Structure 1
Amino acid sequence: MTVSRNETQKKARTTALACLGLVVGMTALAFAFVPLYDLFCKATGYDGTPLRGAAASGAISQDTMVVHFDTNVAPGLPWRFVAETPQVEAQLGATKTVFFRVTNTGTVPSTGIATFNLQPGLTGGYFVKVQCFCFNEQTLQPGETMDFPVVFYLEPGIKTDSNTRDLTEMTLSYTYFASKNGQPQAALATPAGTRAN
C-alpha cells in the first residue's frame, strides 16, 4: 500500500499544528501558574500566606499564641519601618490590632508596597487579616511618617489541628519594596547619596 503525497503532507500539517498547540498551551500555563498559585495560597493559607476575611464572629478561646513581628525594607527604598511592639499575645478568636510606623527618610516622594508571610508556614491557614496596610501601596512624602494598622485574629481551630496544636508562637514578617503599578519592584535604582534604612 502506498501513501499519497497529499496524505503525507496532511499528516505533517496535523503533527505540526498539534506541536504548536502544545507549545502555546504550555506557554499559557507557565504564565498562569504564578497568579493561580498566589490565589491558591491566599485561599488556603498554604505556605505561610495569611487568610483575608471579615472580623471574627465565632467563639473566643482561652488559649493564646504569641505573634512576633518582623519588619524589613528592601534596598532601594529609603524607608524606616518598625512595629509598635515586637510581639503580642493573641487570644484565639479575638480581634487584635497592631500598628506599624513607616517613615520616608529620602528626599523625594516614594511609593512602597509590603509583602508578607507567616512562619511556621502551617499557621497561615489560621491567621486571618481583617485590615492590613499590605493590601495597598503607600506613598510617603520626604520626611513623612505614618502609622498603619494590621487588624487580625487567630482561628481557634489552630489548637485542634494535629499539625499546629503544639505551637505556641508564630512570626508575621513584612518586607516593604518600592512599588510600581501596585507591584513590588525588587531592584530599583537608588539615587546617589541615598540608602535604605
Structure 2
Amino acid sequence: MAMMGLLMLGLAFASVPLYRIFCQVTGYGGTTQRAEAAPGAQLAEGKIGVRFDANVSTTLPWKFEPVQERVQVVPGASTKILYRATNMVARPTTGQAVFNVSPAEVGKYFSKIECFCFTEQTLRGGQTVDMPVVFFVDPKVREDADTKGIDEITLSYTFYPVETGGSGS
C-alpha cells in the first residue's frame, strides 16, 4: 500500500509537465508549436486570416493590446506582428503571458519562432513596450480534413502577474 501511495504521489507531481508536453506535441487545446524557422510560403491554397486578442488579469496593472487587429498570412511564410503593453502604475511590475489559438484543431499547425510569451516581462513604472511575435501557419493545415476549411485563426494572450518575492521588480 505504501508503494502504491508513493506511485500515486509521483504521478500527481509528474502530471503537469507531462500534460504540457502532450499539449505541445499534439496541439491539444489550441497549444501552439515552437519552431526555429518557417518552411517557406506555399501560395497554392491562398491566405488565412489571423486575428489577435489580448487580455490582462485584473491583478496586473497593465494595458495590453495588439498593434494590429488582424493580418492575412500565406501558409508557410513567416509573419511578424506586435503587441503593446503599458505598465499603468509607478512601480515596476512583472507579467507572464499564456496563450492559445482557436479553433483548437489549428494549434498543431501554428508555430511561433519568436514570442514575448517565452519569458517573463518586466516593465518599469509607466513604461510602454512593443513586443514582437514571429509565427507561421504550417501549410499542412490545408491537408488535414479537420482544418482545411478554416479561413481564420485567433491568437489569444492573457498576461498574469509574476510574484517576484517582494522585491517589486
Same fold (TM > 0.5): yes
Poorly superposed stretches of 4+, deviation over 3 Å: none
The equivalent of 1:79 in structure 2 is 62
Pairing of 1:110-121 with structure 2 (within 5 A): 110-121=93-104
CA deviations over 1:39-84 (Å, ceiling 9, x no partner): 1111222210000001113452342111111100001110000111
Please, which of 103, 109, 115 is the counterpart of residue 126 of structure 1? 109
The secondary structure found in structure 2 opposite 1:180 is: coil
1:11 paired residue number: none
Question: How far, CA to CA, are the matches of 1:168 and 1:121 in structure 2?
Answer: 13
User: Are 1:103 and 2:89 an aligned pair?
Assistant: no
- C-alpha deviations, 1:136-193, integer Å up to 9, x for none? 0010011100101000000011011001011111111100000136xxxxxxxxxxxx
Identical amino acids, percent of aligned pairs: 44
1:54 correspondence with 2:36: yes
1:15-164 matched pairs, under 5 angstroms: 19-62=1-44, 63-164=46-147
Work out whether residues 127 and 154 of structure 1, in 8 Å CA contact, stay in contact via their aligned partners in 2.
yes
Q: How many residues align?
A: 163
Q: Is the 8 A contact 1:61 1:156 kept in 2?
A: no
2:23 is paired with a residue of what secondary structure? Answer: helix
Residue identity matched to 1:151: V
The Cα RMSD (Å) is 1.1
Aligned equivalents of 1:126, 1:103: Cα separation in 2: 31
Shift of 1:107: 1.9
Which sections of structure 1, spanning at least 5 residues, go unmatched?
A: 1-18, 182-197
Distance 1:177 1:65 in 2: 29
CA contact (8 A) 1:71 1:81 kept: yes
The answer on whether the counterparts of 2:41 and 2:74 sit within 8 Å (CA) in structure 1 is no
TM superposition score normalised by structure 1: 0.80
* Native 8 Å contact 2:95 2:160 kept in 1: yes
Contact kept? 1:104, 1:145, Cα under 8 Å: yes
Amino acid at match of 1:170: I
Unaligned runs of 5+ in 2: 165-169
For residues 19-55 of structure 1, what are the alpha-carbon distances to aligned partners after superposition, in whole Å with 9 as ceiling and x for unaligned? 0100110111011111110011112222100000011
